[in-house]
């Protein structure tokens, strides 16, 4: 039996635009998916996901496909992504007939912009390859996990979520160019509306707008400009050191700008906007949605208790928590 865990992430800047080759800066946060894998002799795959921040369920499936009546998004999370991860494992270990019992536990809300699917895929690949006696380095896990996301998201995915979860810390992704970067520990506050968005649909919506209107394409490009500006700021602020208030103020301003551009691209929602405004009015340096949008989480920067307290009274917000930068990416437990 082998267990691996991998962190979720927030986007400091750049979601959606990263799908079109603009840079993005996601940061891994200390909320992890933990996957335990045990090889089984009959070549079947059994996925047990009792703790995904959703009502738990168990599904057993083989050649005939899954037979369970659960919401599509939930089923996809536990089957399509894990199924894809196991296909990668069979390929990596040259073991096409390998079967597994897979148990998933996660404290990352599903489909809420915190990279739950990437973390589950990354941890599944690491745990199952170890179970077969194959050690992959985190970059190879990231590459294989990306292939899974690409497939599940109909060819529309960036490397950002999977690379960040595999490597940990802050990363910069621009097309195929993925690297870890030095970043200071930032005072992230996360607000969660209890919902989720459909990444595939949201990405497709931005693609359509971008094809229909030049100004939508310009909006995507403007997100890239915001990211480049933010990246310069981070580089100047010396990674690892405590960041000073001037830098937080400017980072926050750039996050606000990014949120406005994402809002214009139609990927925000009433509850995300409500949480963003509550955070700003409570004194956050800045706030934006994180991930695909449509519902789920916002991320704000605030060292004081103001944003946390205000979000805990905000009707649109179901849960609020602080998130530390996760310096470690995927790891065997
Ligand atoms: C989803 O977490 C982030 C998006 O940019 C899609 C992707 O990068 O694959 C919306």
Digit-by-digit pLDDT tens for the chain (333 residues) are 999 999 999 999 999 999 999 999 999 999 999 999 999 999 888 888 765 544 344 455 555 555 444 455 555 656 788 899 999 999 999 999 999 999 998 889 887 889 998 999 999 999 999 999 999 999 999 999 999 999 888 788 899 999 999 999 999 999 999 999 988 889 999 999 998 888 889 999 999 999 999 999 999 999 999 999 999 999 887 655 578 889 999 999 999 999 999 999 999 999 999 999 999 999 999 999 999 999 999 999 999 999 999 999 999 999 999 999 999 999 999
| Gap between the Cα atoms of 148 and 88, Å rounded | 8
| Whether residue 203 has its Cβ less than 6 Å from ligand 1 | yes
Question: Contact at 8 Å (CB) between 2 and 127?
Answer: yes
Here the tokens at position 231 are: 């990246």
Question: Sign of torsion, CA 7 11 16 22?
Answer: negative
Task: Tell me if residue 225 is catalytic.
Answer: no
E strands, the chain, are: 2-13, 25-40, 45-51, 57-61, 99-106, 170-174, 177-181, 188-192, 286-289, 297-301, 319-323, 331-332
| Whether residue 18 has its Cβ less than 6 Å from ligand 1 | yes
> Of 101, 107, 161, 218, which is the active-site residue?
161
| Whether residue 267 has its Cβ less than 6 Å from ligand 1 | no
pTM of the model: 0.91
Question: Contact at 8 Å (CB) between 148 and 85?
Answer: yes
Q: What CA–CA distances, in Å, run from 68 to 26, 37, 65, 216?
A: 34, 21, 10, 40
Q: Give CATH for domain 188-323.
A: 3.30.70.890
User: What is the helix (H) or strand (E) element at residue 236, kind and residue range?
Assistant: helix 214-236
- What region, left, alpha or beta, does residue 313 occupy, with left being phi > 0 and alpha being psi -120 to 50 degrees? alpha
| Whether residue 186 has its Cβ less than 6 Å from ligand 1 | no
- What region, left, alpha or beta, does residue 8 occupy, with left being phi > 0 and alpha being psi -120 to 50 degrees? beta
Which atom of ligand 1 is nearest to 267's Cα? 10
Protein residue closest via CA to atom 8 of ligand 1 = 158
Which atom of ligand 1 is nearest to 206's Cα? 10
- Cβ count within 10 A of residue 72: 9
Here the tokens at position 94 are: 């040259």
Here the tokens at position 3 are: 């267990």
| Whether residue 162 has its Cβ less than 6 Å from ligand 1 | no
Which atom of ligand 1 is nearest to 115's Cα? 2
2-181, CATH topology level: Ribosomal Protein S5; domain 2 (3.30.230)
The segment(s) of the chain belonging to CATH 3.30.230.10 are 2-181
Å from CA of 200 to ligand 1 middle: 9
């Amino acid at each position: 039996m082998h267990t691996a865990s991998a962190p979720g992430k927030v986007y400091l800047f750049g979601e959606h635009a990263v799908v079109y080759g603009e840079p993005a800066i996601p940061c891994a946060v200390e909320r992890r998916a933990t996957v335990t894998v045990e090889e089984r002799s009959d070549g079947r795959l059994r996925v047990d996901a009792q703790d995904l921040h959703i009502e738990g369920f168990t599904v057993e499936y083989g050649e005939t496909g899954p037979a369970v009546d659960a919401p599509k998004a939930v089923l996809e999370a536990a089957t399509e992504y894990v199924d894809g991860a196991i296909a990668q494992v069979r390929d990596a270990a040259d073991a096409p007939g390998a079967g597994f019992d897979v148990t998933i536990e996660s404290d990352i809300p599903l489909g809420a912009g915190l990279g739950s699917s990437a973390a589950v895929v990354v941890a599944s690949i690491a745990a199952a390859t170890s179970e077969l006696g194959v050690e992959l380095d985190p970059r190879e896990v990231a590459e294989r996990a990306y292939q899974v996301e690409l497939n599940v998201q109909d060819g529309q995915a960036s490397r950002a979520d999977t690379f960040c979860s595999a490597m940990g810390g802050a990363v910069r992704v621009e097309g195929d160019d993925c690297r870890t970067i030095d970043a200071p520990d930032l005072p992230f506050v996360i607000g969660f509306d209890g919902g989720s968005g459909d990444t595939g649909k949201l990405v497709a919506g931005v693609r359509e707008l971008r094809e229909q209107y030049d100004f939508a394409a310009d909006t995507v490009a403007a997100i890239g400009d915001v990211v480049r500006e933010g990246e310069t700021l981070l580089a100047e602020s010396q990674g690892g050191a405590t960041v000073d208030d001037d830098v937080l103020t400017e980072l926050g301003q750039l996050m606000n700008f990014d949120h406005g551009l994402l809002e214009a691209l139609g990927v925000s929602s009433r509850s995300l906007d409500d949480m963003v405004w509550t955070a700003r009015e409570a004194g956050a340096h800045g706030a934006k949605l994180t991930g695909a949008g449509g519902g789920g989480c916002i991320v704000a920067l605030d060292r004081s208790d103001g944003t946390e307290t205000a979000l805990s009274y905000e009707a649109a917000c179901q849960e609020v928590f602080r998130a530390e930068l996760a310096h470690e990416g995927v790891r065997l437990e």
